[in-house]
Amino acid sequence: MNEIKSEHPLSDTDLLASAPGLENRFRDVISGRFDADEESPELLPTKRVLAPMVETPKLHKVLAQAGMGSRLEMEQLIVEGRISVNNEPAHIGQRIQFGDHIKVNGKPIRYRIDPPPARVIAYHKPIGEVVTHDDPQNRPTVFRRLPKLYQGKWQSVGRLDINTEGLLLFTSSGQLANQLMHPRFGLEREYAVRVLGALSKEEKTLLLDGVKLDDGMAQFSSIEEGGGEGANCWYRVTIAEGRNREVRRMLESVGHAVSRLIRIRYGAMVLPRGLKRGAWMELDEADIRVLVKAATPGGVTGDKRDSAGGADRGATHAAQKPANKIRGPRGANVRLKKVAGRHDGAVQPDPMQTAFGYIGADSLVRQRKDGNQKIKGASGGGRSRRGR
């Protein structure tokens, strides 16, 4: 689908005035100036480990709360060797966590420990890393740079091939990962792509209408020119699914080889400004809520604040009314894009024109300036101290 643009495009000055701190600009991504904020002396240094969040109550307390007896009685059963955790004899003072299997006298018991809240980190993947836990060719993997997770393991939200760089999300929740990847919700992936030779009008139309690949039809939601030098031309493209090497294959199908590919957005999350290649940051609770909302039936990637009409009301109004602009912060006009793959008529404001409804543009800078201890990272691609 073609992009719907506002009648009065905003200037850079207007954009920064309507969205303070927004400098996550397309031209910065493709020029190499994107991570210049990392060198700013105003920013606090990043942390290299995750803060522990896992709820690990003591075994005898959990058994007592499950109605098995008093805490003293449970301790006595532990001493007598009548209780096991994950098929291993329990011991006094042992702590358990969500998912552990407990047996009393050889019989499994039911108990309740709430699962830990989902954690999400945004990683700036460099070229040369593969998205797998075990690579037969022993190539560097993205997981070697990630911080140690105290429970479970990191699951990637989609993949990027070895020659693609940019935003890659990881979560501790398999359910959330599946939700964010499910094609039903059509979460947009946005890329900066450099190709050999300029796309003709006919080729753009073909890519927007759909091209046939080996695994079915594929189409871009939008295509924008991004400049370039000589035969190398930059474009901003969005797509609502994440099949293997799909962007590359689509452009190759119309005769253009891709020389560089950078993912700059996934759903509501844009590549955090100031996050160097090989570094990561953890999303806070508010940002995770916005990310999840975009992948919820009936949810819209809207303003994460409940002010000025609210995200749901504003998005619903825009979807029902055939207007081509929506009011953003301080009355700014915001470009809209139809979300391919969704059937509720939802629209998303363009994150490269305003920060309205999107997260990540200034998350790293804002949270580090505030001294937020939830922000962590392996600055400059360094490894975590607490494991790989």
Domains of the chain: 1-53+118-388 (3.30.2350.10), 59-108 (3.10.290.10)
Separation of alpha carbons 297 and 342, rounded Å: 10
Closest CA to 28 of 272, 356, 365: 272
Separation of alpha carbons 352 and 262, rounded Å: 14
Q: Answer for the pair 26, 232: CB distance below 8 angstroms, yes or no.
A: no
Angle at 210 between CA 206 and CA 213, to 5 degrees: 110
Closest CA to 240 of 290, 295, 283, 293: 295
Separation of alpha carbons 4 and 357, rounded Å: 17
Q: Please tell me the predicted confidence (pLDDT) of residue 286.
A: 85
> At a CB cut-off of 8 Å and minimum separation 6, what does 385 contact?
48, 49
List 12, 114, 134, 161, catalytic entry: 161
319: which 2 tokens? 């979807």
Positions in the chain short of pLDDT 50: 1-24, 44, 300-356, 372-388
How many angstroms separate the Cα of 233 from the Cα of each of 135, 229, 359?
A: 33, 7, 28
Q: Answer for the pair 303, 348: CB distance below 8 angstroms, yes or no.
A: no
Active site residue 287: no
Q: Please tell me the predicted confidence (pLDDT) of residue 25.
A: 61
Per-residue exposure over 186-215, b if at least 16 CB sit within 10 Å of its own CB, e if not: bbbbbbbbbbeeebeeebbebbbeebeeee
Q: Please tell me the predicted confidence (pLDDT) of residue 304.
A: 37
Q: Answer for the pair 194, 138: CB distance below 8 angstroms, yes or no.
A: no
Q: Answer for the pair 299, 293: CB distance below 8 angstroms, yes or no.
A: yes
The residues with which 84 forms a beta bridge, in sequence order, are 89, 103
> At a CB cut-off of 8 Å and minimum separation 6, what does 199 contact?
207, 223, 233, 235, 254, 256
At residue 91, the 3 state secondary structure works out as: coil
Q: Answer for the pair 186, 134: CB distance below 8 angstroms, yes or no.
A: no
Q: Please tell me the predicted confidence (pLDDT) of residue 296.
A: 72
Separation of alpha carbons 326 and 306, rounded Å: 16
Q: Please tell me the predicted confidence (pLDDT) of residue 34.
A: 67
Question: Locate tokens 């992936």: which residue?
Answer: 189
150: which 2 tokens? 């105290």
Q: Answer for the pair 258, 244: CB distance below 8 angstroms, yes or no.
A: no
